[in-house]
Chains A and B, each alone.
Chain A
Amino acid sequence: KAGVTQTPRYLIKTRGQQVTLSCSPISGHRSVSWYQQTPGQGLQFLFEYFSETQRNKGNFPGRFSGRQFSNSRSEMNVSTLELGDSALYLCASSLGGGNQPQHFGDGTRLSIL
């Protein structure tokens, strides 16, 4: 079974630009969660989608948004990029029934110049 696939693997952007990251979950998984990982803050929850609906959102500004498609693939968008948005963005999928382990993709490394 293929794992969670995230694209692109690396991105370099400049301040003020916007970016879209993509995540394809494990086949059959309907829940997709996004996390931001930085050296200072560790892994922080961004949001979770299930059946095309955002069920939960972390404490991030409105510049961070996402969506999920009918095939469970998800995208995350960050607008008006800031230097502090430089991070590893990880996507995780699960069956979504609650108390199911989340399985992570390799992440997208975003660098803001």
Chain B
Amino acid sequence: EDKVVQSPLSLVVHEGDTVTLNCSYEVTNFRSLLWYKQEKKAPTFLFMLTSSGIEKKSGRLSSILDKKELFSILNITATQTGDSAIYLCAVGIVDSSYKLIFGSGTRLLVRP
């Protein structure tokens, strides 16, 4: 059975801290790994990773994929209260077509 596991489930930090969120997976027909940020409504797309070892970066957020060890990390540096959200990891696989398998998410709370 395809599965995606995120850790930790929740995290409380103070503004300015650096956090690392983890995502491991066991799937068949892997195609990509995606990170989303979900506040109160729609999950917002952050990154899509398809190749091992190539870091993707956007401002204070960065992510990298290890296809040999089957995991990815999402780093957030100099955290701000606006980073408080649920961070979702999803793995894109192909069975009859491309679809996403989601992890349960990491709930991040950044305190002032």
Contact = CB atoms under 8 A, between A and B. Distances in A.
Contacts of A3: 42
Given A33-B99, A48-B97, A42 B104 contact: yes
B12 interface: no
Interface size class of B (residues with CB under 8 A): 20 to 34
Dominant secondary structure at the B interface: strand
Interface string A87-113: 000101000001111111111000000
Dominant secondary structure at the A interface: strand
Interface in B29-85: 31-32, 34, 36, 41-45, 48, 50
Contacts of A58: 99
Contact of A99 (B31, B36, B41, B42): B31
A81 interface: no
B92 A99 contact: yes
B42 A4 contact: yes
Interface string A10-47: 00000000000000000000000101000000111100
A9 B84 CA distance: 23
Contact of A45 (B31, B32, B50, B99): B99
Nearest to A94: B98
Nearest to A57: B96
A48 B48 CA distance: 19
Nearest to A55: B97
